[in-house]
Structure 1
């Protein structure tokens, strides 16, 4: 069984949440979003990659 984190999880760990939020606000990434935000999409992509492996 794999003991280390997956590559995508390691990359997300280095992503600064404040910087990500600033970029989302700058480019109106969540403009018409009611519940499924950009951050949720990013973390869901991590779930998809880990489940398929």
Structure 2
């Protein structure tokens, strides 16, 4: 489990380590900040592999 916190350090939620957090928006109940979570770009399978976008 990992904990997801707002910038004001309030606990927003807990998620499994393998959970996908893409396309989620949560408003902090304490400070009112909208916290957005997007999918991270995948890392290359091997070090030094070229990016798919740049050929």
Return the TM-score normalized by structure 1.
0.19
Return the TM-score normalized by structure 2.
0.18
More helix by share: 1
| Structure ranking higher on relative contact order (CA contacts 8 Å, 6+ apart) | 1
Larger Rg: 2
More strand by share: 2
